[in-house]
Structure 1
């Protein structure tokens, strides 16, 4: 019984679907389709009629299409129509947006009486433009609309050209000016003796430009002198050939000329300055071509000015330096190329500085610095004299130190600030103290504290501290102290030039008693303070 009920249900469902499908088929083929009823557009009485589906032009009368041709060609039909009519019907775009809901709108131009009627039917918008004299205006009505559209566009174009901050004019094949904008006319008035009476054709202001299209690479720099102006007016001109005529655009270039003049004067000043510098200068642009050099570079590098003027690359420049033995000789070429790459990388970050010891005995300090726009500047300084002086000074210091080390007396020298600046070998051995072994300075306080720990109590060390810090007149004096190991020392305290102080220690050979320390002042005053 259950299986019978299930089979009956399936039969009923299938039969229902079949009946619905047959009904739909008959409705689609036997019932007439619903269509929008429009009068053919060519049979409409109006001359200017548009038919749009959304913003797509479906159809239009010939006069309507002719009206669209007067609009901006880069616009589609719908925005082009709005642009043509918005001067007379400012609210057209807003009202058309409500057409689907309102079904019908009508707009009127209060000045001319012209009307726009728009009707919505079946997803299509029918837009009609009607003259203020009514639909029976005749065949001249579209001509008037075209003329108004053209006149409006001409007015806009004239306003744009006349308000443009540049000179615009047209010359014929003979160079005669046949048309010009307001800026050109105003300039003619400024240079004319009778500004109120300007003849036609207009005068040609710039005789320095050729007649006809300018074949030179634009722009061409033009200038003109204006009465009561201290400096001439400058322009950059661009030409556009138009059949037998030439349309010229001249943009004001006064600020640009002033900037170029200032830059040129600045470069000349730098060039003159660089010419007197003893340091060689080589500036390479972002492509690593030599863009600037001074005479000192030719002297230091030994390279010919002709080679430098050919704008060699950085690698070529350094290769030439290597060939002329004006830089350290590399061990092998591969290492050399890697060094050049490292040099360029270091200079671009502003970290390159190196001392070159040349085979000729000269010494160069080479510095690389980055500059704006990816340029690199290299400075070559001949520091041979400086190096020689440094070496000679170091040699004299070493000689002086050797002399001091050969002296049996233990010597220590304190600066005016009380810092030990010099000592000899005898001092280091006597006190087991090497001031150069420590990064910290050894002052007179630290030195006397050391000496005091190795000697019996005595007021000499306090007197020495006062003596070193005394800013007045000083004289040499001596004293004797006894070390803890029983040895007696004679101390000599001598003022030096620059308010420095020399302290000397020597062993006492006699067996004189030191029950009380002695202090002997020398009567001859010192030469230094």
Structure 2
């Protein structure tokens, strides 16, 4: 009996020890990290609930804002051709397996219709089924794909990207940097990589520093815009190709130099003021025309200081008072800023300037000063000669009219206006006017024929009946350039005027002699 009782007690003790050995310890249970499946609950495409791995996946996907759109955009490439909503509505429950992803995971999707518009979606890794657990391989796959995308983007970018430590040693570089380093190196590359560009160091507190640096290879210089960003104890460098910008800046400088040389040779004074109305550009002709000191112009005076200095040097029209002068200059500035404006300045010294104001981009305004004294003198002389010619024509007793190549009336004298009463704009209108004032006959027909012929005798003449019934002689003279001059004279009227002048003692000697002989007879 004692032996049996001892055996039973020993067996019970062994059973309790075995059970205690198999039961997990409290500390070990706290160290376990229970894995949760990736499950999404949607109602009418609105997220109701999701497990922690599922929410983590949605956060990793990012845009767009809708949870359903984000999940659908992520599932679509991995399950091509899957109509999730349509198949669930038709079959209530579907289970599909996706294609092999970019990482180590292959996906299985389980979608179930729970009724009342609730849809449950479960994503699992089938390779973890044999272990009896659900691994969060989807988040791992998303990170692997994002990492692969970033690597490809950095390797395919044309700019040079590298990282260097506090001792300026290169600890990482992209494919473009490695290719350029291999081209410039004579042997095999080793770590740390050689520095290709004199890149700037980030300024504390500024965040980013920029510098343009050259890189010479086989006698060809390439330019890069280098940007540095502090990343902890190291610095990230980005070098963007700037050859196009350098060529554009060089072309711009050459263009500006060409314009500067052109402006220097212009006889017209040029003054360009910016939107704050400060002088930014002028040429030597401005100094020659205005007499302003070079130091005054290089100090970039304002527009009104510039005009006031011209007024002090008597290089502007003399105003009646200072108020009218200031108003006139304000009008000049506003008119030049809004559109093309031209003024003529008659200076006290006898010179005449043409001042032109033109608006420029960004609110700037340019003024051109041109000396037109010789032009004005020539115009005045020409006008005086025209006036003299007009007086000479009006002093001739015969009626004169000159018609141009196209038959337009070019000039006529006062005797012509008195004879016919009015002027005609063209030769056809003049012929019609003459026909209406006289009795047409052979003489008028011969006149019309002489005027209608473009070429013929240098001079044709004849006679016809005048407006008052007296005999009227006419002469057609062909001038240079296809112009024709018509001359009308009345012999009887001329004799009467000569007789009247002889009675007043103003007749010519021959006329007075004829009248004396007639008196003796």
Per the TM superposition, whether the score is higher than 0.5 is: yes
Cα 1:333–1:102 change in 2 (3 A) is farther
Give CA-to-partner distance per residue, 1:344-374, whole Å, 9 cap, x none.
Answer: 5544554423333333332233334444555
Contact 1:280 1:294 in 2 (8 A): yes
Among residues 190, 196, 200, which one is paired with 1:199 in the alignment? 190
Distance 1:84 1:448 in 2: 92
**TM-score under structure 2 length normalisation:** 0.68
Q: Which one has the bigger helix percentage?
A: 2
Aligned to 2:127, the other structure's residue is in SS state coil
Cα 1:201–1:409 change in 2 (3 A) is same
Alignment of 1:254-333 (within 5 A): 254-285=243-274, 288-331=277-320
Aligned to 1:187, the other structure's residue is in SS state helix
Deviation at residue 182 of structure 1 after TM alignment: 1.1
Among residues 118, 127, 134, which one is paired with 1:132 in the alignment? 127
**Range with greater deviation from structure 2 (340-349 or 251-260):** 340-349
Deviation at residue 224 of structure 1 after TM alignment: 1.7
Cα 1:73–1:479 change in 2 (3 A) is closer
Distance 2:71 2:144 in 1: 17
Contact 2:39 2:54 in 1 (8 A): no
Deviation at residue 99 of structure 1 after TM alignment: 8.2
- Work out whether 1:154 is the aligned partner of 2:142: no
Aligned to 2:171: 178
Aligned to 2:181: 188
Contact 1:223 1:232 in 2 (8 A): yes
- Work out whether 1:164 is the aligned partner of 2:126: no
Aligned to 2:213: 222
Alignment of 1:39-438 (within 5 A): 46-49=34-37, 64=53, 71=60, 82=71, 90=79, 112=105, 129=124, 132-134=127-129, 136=131, 150-194=143-187, 197-207=188-198, 209-210=199-200, 219-227=210-218, 231-285=220-274, 288-331=277-320, 339-340=328-329, 342-344=331-333, 346-348=335-337, 350-429=339-418, 431-435=419-423
Gaps of 5+ in 2: 1-29, 497-521
**TM-score under structure 1 length normalisation:** 0.67
Contact 1:283 1:290 in 2 (8 A): yes
Contact 2:201 2:209 in 1 (8 A): no
Distance 1:77 1:451 in 2: 95
Gaps of 5+ in 1: 1-41, 512-529
CA RMSD of aligned residues (A): 4.8
Deviation at residue 441 of structure 1 after TM alignment: 1.6
Give CA-to-partner distance per residue, 1:110-165, whole Å, 9 cap, x none.
Answer: 765665667888979696756724475789x66x8876665444323212211223
Aligned to 1:501: 485
Contact 1:48 1:129 in 2 (8 A): no
**Range with greater deviation from structure 2 (94-103 or 395-404):** 94-103
Contact 2:111 2:120 in 1 (8 A): yes
Aligned to 1:459: 442
Aligned to 2:217, the other structure's residue is in SS state coil
Aligned to 1:225, the other structure's residue is in SS state strand
Distance 1:45 1:374 in 2: 69
Give CA-to-partner distance per residue, 1:440-475, whole Å, 9 cap, x none.
Answer: 6242x5445545555565534443444445554634
